[in-house]
Amino acid sequence: MAMTTFKRIIKGGFLNFKRSGIISWAAVLVVTITLSVITTIILLQAVLHFSLNQIKDKVDVTIYFTIGASEEKIMTLKSSLEKLPEVATVSYTSAEEALRIFRERHQSDYPTIQALDEIGDNPLGAYLNIKAKEVSQYEDIANFMKSDNSLTPGGESIVDKVNYHQNKLVIDRLNNIIGGAQRLGFILTLLSVIITVIVTFNTIRLTIFIAKEEIGVMRLVGASKMHVRGPFMIEGVIYGVVATMITLVLFLPVTAWLGRSMTNFLGINMYDYYLSSFFQIFAILLLSGIILGVISSWLAIRKYLKK
């Protein structure tokens, strides 16, 4: 009996969708626009997080030591840093290696190389390159270096400079941009959801008006509220499912074009990302579309059944 009722409710939902014709497709269009906004925000966040991770990989803290600093003291500091839970890796570059790298980097800059040859002695000091596990942990590492007594053996500091503050400024700015973009995405999604609920609500109300005589007969013969409400909620589900399929199909050529022509600019192949995340995106869109449709339908029929 329950299965028969459920089948009738589903059949009624499809009949309502078909009977409403262009009205139903107008509701599908609005839900599709909302799901397109959600998909766009998902893709933009992928680009932003990819860019952030790329910069995170390049960000580090470098401690430049004074010329002639004791290697023993430098290695002692290196051991202390490696024991910190915030530190991922610490690499040591000797003064001789630093000079070799500098010469290779400026091998086409004849005046610079000539100046080095004229100086004779190595003007560069050794340095430690530190990578933290998280960007937010660099400040803790910097505070450790400020308080560590091994930096000042015999009252004289062996550190020439630390480049923490320059890199911190870049990361903070990027985090602010991403935070702003996420807030903007949330606002756009919220506005789209509100508009979709309103339009779908009114569409369902119009469908109810078209079928008001049929609903009146159902209520007169003692049909339960769920039996009356069910077909319209199924209709809302259909809106969400159809809109999800349309959105997924629309973004295939869009991401394919972005993958061909915008990969260098975006830093990520959007088409490859879309395909690799297809099932996650599908699940998010399908769930969002069904929820939007069901809530709109439930609100509309609830108001009608109260009369």
Tell me the average pLDDT across 246-255. Answer: 92
Beta bridge partners of 256: none
pLDDT tens digit sequence for 19-42: 777 877 877 888 888 888 888 888
Share of residues in the chain with pLDDT > 70 (%)? 79
Q: Mutual orientation of helices 164-210 and 22-58 as an angle, nearest 10°?
A: 170
* Spatial contact of 236 and 296, defined as CB atoms under 8 Å apart: yes
* DSSP 8-class letter at 66: P
Taken in order of first residue, the domains within the chain and their CATH numbers are 2-55+172-305 (no CATH), 67-157 (3.30.70.3040)
Backbone angles phi, psi at 160, to 5 degrees: -85, -50
Mean of the per-residue pLDDT values for the chain? 77
Q: Per-residue pLDDT for 15 more than 80? A: no
Is residue 63 within a helix (H) or strand (E), and if so which, with residue range?
A: strand 61-65
Residues sharing a CB contact under 8 Å with residue 219, sequence separation 6 or more, in sequence order: 228
In the prediction, which pLDDT does 26 show?
79
Q: Give, as one character, the DSSP assignment of residue 246.
A: H
pLDDT band at 150 (very low <50, low <70, confident <90, very high): very low
For residues 59-63, give the mean pLDDT. Answer: 80
Average pLDDT value for residue range 94-117? 78
Q: What angle do CA 270, 25, 43 make, to 5 degrees?
A: 15
Query: Which residue has better confidence, 282 or 230?
Result: 282
pLDDT tens per residue, range 159-193: 777 777 666 677 677 667 767 777 877 787 777 77
Distance CA 141, CA 268 (A): 31
Q: Considering just the CA atoms, what is the radius of gyration of the chain in Å?
A: 32
What pLDDT shows up at residue 250?
93
* Residue of 290 and 298 predicted with greater confidence: 290
Is-contact 21 206, C-beta < 8 A? no
pTM of the model: 0.67
State the pLDDT confidence band at 248, using cuts at 50, 70 and 90: very high
> Among 49-58, 161-170, 221-230, where is mean pLDDT lowest?
221-230
- Of 189 and 50, more confident: 50
The pLDDT, as a whole number, for residue 178 is 67
Is residue 231 predicted with pLDDT exceeding 70? yes
- Taking alpha carbons only, the member of 62, 198, 75 closest to residue 132 is 62
H-only helix segments in the chain: 2-20, 22-58, 71-82, 95-105, 110-119, 138-147, 164-210, 212-220, 225-261, 263-266, 270-276, 278-305
Q: What's the CA gap between 77 and 57, in Å, rounded? A: 23
Amino acid, single-letter form, for residue 45? Q
Q: What is the DSSP string of 163-220?
A: -HHHHHHHHHHHHHHHHHHHHHHHHHHHHHHHHHHHHHHHHHHHHHHHTHHHHHHHHH
Is the distance from CB of 185 to CB of 45 less than 8 angstroms? yes
Distances in Å between the Cα of 119 and the Cα atoms of 109, 116, 122 are 16, 5, 8
**pLDDT mean over 281-305:** 79
Choose between 291 and 301: higher pLDDT: 291
DSSP 125: -
Residue 250, classed as helix, strand or coil, is helix
| Confidence grade of residue 303 (pLDDT, cut at 50, 70, 90) | low
Residue with more model confidence, 150 or 242: 242
- Residue 291: name the closest of 200, 225, 174 by CA: 200
Confidence tier at 289 by pLDDT (50, 70, 90): confident
Residue 279: pLDDT band with limits 50, 70, 90: very high
